Structure 1
């Protein structure tokens, strides 16, 4: 069982068998959740006495650990001895000397140890015996002189029994005739050893050369992590056999070769430089196996690598310094002001961005809002130029991994002529002598307009044909009302004075003030 310090899905491990050579791939399976290796095929000691498999443990982030499992097969006495007659001489002359070879037998038992040890015997009391000559070879020889006139033929049953528990036996029968003719040129046997010299007529071959080796590796994988690869097989021997592996040139991976106890080799791909999904989301490499023959032969298998995303890129606003926009005061709720936009080079949830307003005064938070998905900044409350002529706020763009970027947004408020001038009487003389000289001050009026620009420019005038005038225009928002000349209308005791002030906005707004003056 393999343990990992990671948590959550990153700590969930699945197990699989990799680089299973020969028949092992059809004989063993592993439970991907528990790591239990079990038998799924027929185990035969006589075919394979030992199996070596590699177990691969992989977490959900694509990181892999490997371990070798060596399974020794224990022999069971499931094979009876097999008897092969290599030579048999019949008939045999009755004057053949004692010790004459009658037959040569090859007897083998595929089992091992006591299960493969053999004892031979001859049924009944016959003038023969069995002697071992070479390994697995036995001679049937005469044990006394023959007398054809007494016994002209023999039925010989030879039984081979192994020493297993329970023992298994095999037997064969020979029918030997005794001749009274002396044979010339008796049989002679000679052992000949033939050595077949190998030529380089086989190239190294990967078991699944037409199917690429696939890996999914996180771009956050640590340098030095190892990935086991398939081993190639070469039917040639010695120098003509598989000698080396090569990996196609690349910046991220190197090969590490290991030797098996049987002299074979297996390889692992080792990460030597961090991966970057944003630059290379996929990689295609080639694993090449070469022999040492002349001419040299090789075999190739493709390696396809999918680089899994890690949240290693923060969002970036398209306008990194500042966004500028304008909005009319009194704009309706829901009016779009500006759209901010950020991008994230990561993929999936790591590249999904949400927008929010940060570090704003409470009054701005009530007036402006942003759509967290689209980045559209819009009006959510009453915009009043007379309260704020400009808003400055910061917008945060945040991915699902918690990485953020921010940008400033400056919004200029455009004035609307929504305020009429206000007229306030600061002082006023309600009684004026009829012989007052021209220019006599009878009142001071304060005039204000909260709008700006032309919307806040105010002009005032006196309605009707009264003997008064406004001496000066707006200075510090104050007007002076003075007499224009002598009072000529004898007998008139009172004047109604109406001062009207109008701004220059479109449409123009105005205000009036009415006063009475007695003579």
Structure 2
């Protein structure tokens, strides 16, 4: 037992590691019902899952599941009707994906919707009219319309029973697919002329499912006894098979079934009816009871159903009949463009990001089939990004080379998805990405060196010249401040002779200069940006003092 438990734990861990979780939940559960502990199964930390970009995506038209941000539980977002979602499949499985944006991870989730007994068996017609010849031999069988129960397993249709009179009994045959087909059996000979009451027989057919408690449905059968009818209608084909493209216009006649009856008068007049069809087929096709023409009354969609079967009955005025099978095979047309969605993306990226950095996670799917569903994805040219295939139908957009904000500060990236149909259908998604600045440029002076001439005996505080430097970076990284390099003049600090204004780069003389003492000043000005760490550059400045005639000759 301990070894079995260990294997179960290892299997769950293996599935989680490979991005696949499986749960089950009964149908018709109220919104917010618990499905599975996703946070525990994937080892996600609580709380604050929503703040870290953890969310559930459902690729269908309806979001059936959501993630409870406080508990990390997968819960139902809508009431789920299994019969509405999965009436064409035995096992009802819904799929969604859990996106962890911070990790750029995708986890597939499969949830099996289990059946409850929420549907009673029902007949297509609550009242059934049958006509039988009085010469019908005892033991003759007459197919009855079967009941439908969209539930599955024990909750589906299990049995039939008949109540009425002694002339009839019930037999149940197994169909090709294992379904039960009720038949009315004539147990005792009919004699219309003996008593008037024998012209009609009222019966009740009851269908029951295997639920607990069981549900039932009934249909009333009225049998009319008529005079003898020698020949039954005969269809021209035992089976009709029609191939129909899914884009055929509504109102088109797809096929006409024909049957002939060798009798004359009312017994030779043939009419048609649909004896057996699924609910979906009944909503799509209409049978003309007079001509046998089967017409399309609703748009076909290959992705919803690729094959439909009808059982058509031809009956004459005496109640004799023949049955044929009509199979409608729907062929795919490239009528769905690829669906391209952005599951996760960055809005900003640093210009020093490494090559291969993921900036977006995309999902693509095409609801067509075969070659029409094969999708090729591409990026519009001229951008430093490339596409990489991820898991299943996911793609990553990653950097293909180093970025330089000073060259391009933002990108509009267009991702295109095109299928292989003819003609090809395509769709696109746009990504906007802003490049964040990194302090990778030092200030650059406008000139390689500066010089100025100043007459001696200048006023203290006089402007000598202005240096200017610019920085190709952005924001604080491009803010330039100036400072004077260290030095000495005639034993005194250089800063006692001149100063530089930190914001403007203006160089001022702090004292009156004397040509006879100092004929020139050689100094350095440093320009430093506001980055962390800061970058800087220096420029040399030569200040020449111009002589004035301020000294008299001495004898």
Q: TM-score, normalised by structure 2?
A: 0.45
What TM-score, normalized by structure 1, do the two folds share?
0.47
Greater helix proportion: 2
Which protein has the larger Cα radius of gyration, Structure 1 or Structure 2? 1
